[in-house]
Structure 1
Amino acid sequence: MTSIFTVSDMTCGHCEKTVRAALEEALPGAAVTIDLSARKVTVEGDREKAEEAIREAGYTPQAA
């Protein structure tokens, strides 16, 4: 399952790395694509786990 989130408070490269690391830890082996300029995160796998991982990393995901 592919999930797309808008993460408005992801504003820099450090934010991107933090979100990517959180998703890779929560969903090992899942494909993660981040478009920092659009503030979009696309991830394969469990939507709830992905959303929770982004929140636990300190960001506010919204379903896109």
Structure 2
Amino acid sequence: MSTATYTVKGMTCGHCVSSVKEEVSEVAGVTSVEVDLATGLLTVSGDGPVQEADVVAAVEEAGYEVVR
């Protein structure tokens, strides 16, 4: 099991959180997605390695940006 944490820019409400969770949940290998609106942190867990590029693409698809 692997876990990675990302900072997401642009989330301002519960709908934002839901959008990010929904998109990231669809990434291959992802088993758990947690989003903290207050801190902007996205924590992604998977059975095996989850590709960072896929997570970033999913966040962008939801309309937000991963800050590096």
Q: Same fold by TM (over 0.5)?
A: yes
Give the TM-score normalised by structure 1: 0.82
| Bigger fraction of residues in helix | 1
Where structure 1 has 5 or more consecutive residues not aligned to the other structure, the ranges are none
Give the TM-score normalised by structure 2: 0.78
Identity in percent: 33
Confirm or deny that 1:37 pairs with 2:38.
yes
Paired residue for 1:52?
57
Matches within 5 A, 1:1-64: 1-27=2-28, 29-44=30-45, 45-63=50-68
Where structure 2 has 5 or more consecutive residues not aligned to the other structure, the ranges are none
Cα RMSD, aligned residues only: 1.5
Distance in structure 1 (CA, Å) of the matches to 2:30 and 2:57: 17
Aligned residues: 63
Question: Match of 2:43, SS?
Answer: strand
Distance in structure 1 (CA, Å) of the matches to 2:30 and 2:7: 21
Distance in structure 1 (CA, Å) of the matches to 2:28 and 2:11: 19
Stretches of 4+ aligned residues off by more than 6 angstroms: none
| Bigger fraction of residues in strand | 2
